[in-house]
Structure 1
Amino acid sequence: MSGTSLDGVDGVLAEVSASRCTIARHASAPLAPETRAELLALNTSGADELHRAALSANALAATYADVVQALLAGSGLQAAEVRAIGAHGQTVRHQPQAHAGSGYTLQLNNPALLAERTGITVVADFRSRDVAAGGQGAPLVPAFHRQMFGQTGRDAAVLNLGGMANVSLLGADGSVRGFDCGPANVLMDLWCQRHTGKAYDAHGAWAAGGRVLAPLLQVMLAEPFFAAVPPKSTGRDVFNTGWLERALAAAESCRAAPQDVQATLAELTARSCTQDVQRHGPACRLLIVCGGGALNGHLLRRLGALLPGVAVQSSAEHGLAPLQVEAAAFAWLAHQCLAGLPGNLPAVTGARGPRILGAIYPA
């Protein structure tokens, strides 16, 4: 899995059954700076972008292959002993239900090259079938969250804080709902890189030392996406540099102290996520947090403060480390595809019905 935050590639070696997904190993690799910069640039239109996208897909597949080899080397397994690789690809455009209603979602990847490099069957392109069926194509992880984190007899929520934030609401009755909440790390990382030279705000320490700018927060929370009714999903198509610059201008915060802007961006993530939990899961008393944002102590403290009476816990406390959850979900989705089973939940994505997700590239 390589997510919207563009911080690298995470991979897991997982044993998947009908009722469980057990992680044997985890490996990760950073994206080469030039690959990361190009993938980020490809989120907007530019010169020769078809050629550049193809080369970036090749580079990403090579990094995926490196992670696979690291997993195999650490486990003692041979490629022939692995049934398949679930490879998400890198989202560069996400516009479901747009453009005369068909819409599209685009994840750069070269699964054929990955199959050649590894000698293992690859399952890729998970989102497009759901979009073709009228869905958002996201989030796809709630079904996996239900299997891994569902609580008998009580409502719970799983909040993934990657580049974007998405929540899965797991009902005590077995029901599942889920949707994107808005930006998680994407804007915080962007601002931190710009003003400190660091890729991210470790533990949220920089944000914790700033003060929240109420006018700026108010302008940002007025974004229509936050008030939209699920099913809904989003990405860098909405929450990007231009969006942040327009918010700063509208709130007359362009000259504000950068640390205070960082504190406000952290508060935006905390407020938008907790508002969604309160609005759509009022009976929830447990919030399980995963993704890179689960390592941000300041953000977790703000989630807890804004959700009194709700236990905010890392997914590590529930058997799966925060940086492993997304990769494990796509291993599970690959298993679903090969078993001929649906991977989407129409109640989550808005698709016309359950669909088998993914395209198979045999070894």
Structure 2
Amino acid sequence: MANSSSQLFVGLMTGTSLDGIDAVVVDLAGDTPQLVASLGAPLPAELRQQLFQLQAPSHDEIHLAQLAANAHSRACAEVVLALLKQADLTAADIVAVGNHGQTIRHRPEYRYTLQIGNHALLAEYSGITVVGDFRSRDVAAGGQGAPLVPAFHQALFAKPNSNRVLLNIGGIANLSWLSAKGEVIGFDSGPGNVLLDAWILQHLDRHYDANGEWAASGKVLPDLLAQMQSEPFFTLPAPKSTGRDLFHLDWLNHHLATRNDSPADVQATLCELSAWSIATAITQQGAPDEVYVCGGGVHNTHLIQRLAAHLPCPIQSTAALGVDPDWVEAFAFAWLAQRCLAGQTANLPAVTGARGERVLGAIWPA
């Protein structure tokens, strides 16, 4: 049970990879947030398929999106209740759930971003206040609405007199450059796992390339790599963000249209593209002293090895900083929920391009 001095929040994250629901209980009472409990669960297969279909325009998609939002919230509620049982907690012990929702469109150039999830339903099922829709206020203020985690990275991981990089490799990779002077730069660098996952699903019917073994079995195709490196997104200045709206199988197939390459060689080249784009985004900011990785990509041994080959400093997991790399993103949305309830700003205009600092999120009381 929680003690009277604790301030417990639940953070929920389902990312671009669509691989599962990450849930944490975090105690945010003190200066140093503490991870109390964590639980991961795969997305139900039917829901995963629905979410994949919603990544592109389809017939009756408004109705399909609402059904998927309801199913997403039911799945999240089940994970939250299982997490509380695991931690010997009740809904009454939790201040709020911070729920990212599932991104199905991210078009800040048109002044919108859409993360579906029926937050009212989640509050009803869980009996806990829910804070969600974190990105739209930043977009309304002219920002990208992403990435939002650099403010959390700064609060938890910044180190005086060190250029420290926090790198999240999910479907899309994003980085936070925490400078020795206390400044923060953050943006999406491009594909992390999204193209790797899509390609192996198409050819081997697997959801991900375990340890990067399939990529490691192939060889990098320099001409294909150079062709993909010409994508204009890579040379855009920050602030910038991206998602499946740009990096998807049709994008890849466009580059493969006149080719007949070995699928394993294509996978090796996609892995190199992710490593190159991440490393380039980092080194364009300067020479980092430390790079710490979180997100699903940390488990792709081949990707991490290729990334290390491009960087001038060692790479470590955020476990070295005391936070398991699988839970950093969910941790961040618990922190964002607390900031919202306290009326505190949580975006970094230098990161997102917003006109100013804003309180992020909307609240659905229990």
Match of 1:45 among 35, 57, 76: 57
Mapped partners of 2:364, 2:248: distance in 1:
33
TM-score (norm 2): 0.95
What is the aligned partner in structure 2 of residue 106 from structure 1?
114
* Structure 2: stretches of 5+ with no match in the other structure: 1-12
What is the aligned partner in structure 2 of residue 354 from structure 1?
357
- Same amino acid, percent of matched pairs: 54
Q: Out of 25-34 and 221-230, give the one that drifted further.
A: 25-34
TM-score (norm 1): 0.96
What is the aligned partner in structure 2 of residue 211 from structure 1?
219
Q: Are 1:192 and 1:201, in contact at CA under 8 Å, matched by a contact in 2?
A: yes
What is the aligned partner in structure 2 of residue 92 from structure 1?
104
What is the aligned partner in structure 2 of residue 8 from structure 1?
20
Q: Map of 1:1-363 to 2, 5 A cutoff?
A: 1-17=13-29, 19-98=31-110, 103-249=111-257, 252-253=258-259, 255-280=260-285, 282-308=286-312, 310-363=313-366
User: What SS does the aligned partner of 1:20 have?
Assistant: coil
User: What SS does the aligned partner of 1:45 have?
Assistant: coil
RMSD (CA atoms): 0.9
Quote how far apart the aligned CAs of 1:18 are.
6.2
User: What SS does the aligned partner of 1:19 have?
Assistant: coil
User: What SS does the aligned partner of 2:326 have?
Assistant: helix
Q: Are 1:21 and 1:328, in contact at CA under 8 Å, matched by a contact in 2?
A: no
Q: Are 1:29 and 1:63, in contact at CA under 8 Å, matched by a contact in 2?
A: no
Mapped partners of 2:30, 2:114: distance in 1:
29
Q: Are 1:19 and 1:147, in contact at CA under 8 Å, matched by a contact in 2?
A: no
Quote how far apart the aligned CAs of 1:303 are.
1.1
1:179-236 per-residue CA deviation (whole Å, 9 max, x = no partner) reads: 0000100100000111111110001111111100111111111000000000000001
One-letter amino acid of the counterpart of residue 70, structure 1 = A
Mapped partners of 1:314, 1:69: distance in 2:
29
How many aligned residue pairs are there? 354
1:132-176 per-residue CA deviation (whole Å, 9 max, x = no partner) reads: 000000000001111222122111101100010001000111111
User: What SS does the aligned partner of 2:14 have?
Assistant: coil
1:29-72 per-residue CA deviation (whole Å, 9 max, x = no partner) reads: 11111111111111111101011000000000011101101110
Quote how far apart the aligned CAs of 1:20 are.
2.4
Mapped partners of 1:73, 1:246: distance in 2:
48
User: What SS does the aligned partner of 2:284 have?
Assistant: helix
1:271-306 per-residue CA deviation (whole Å, 9 max, x = no partner) reads: 0000011101x1312110000001111111111111
Quote how far apart the aligned CAs of 1:19 are.
3.0
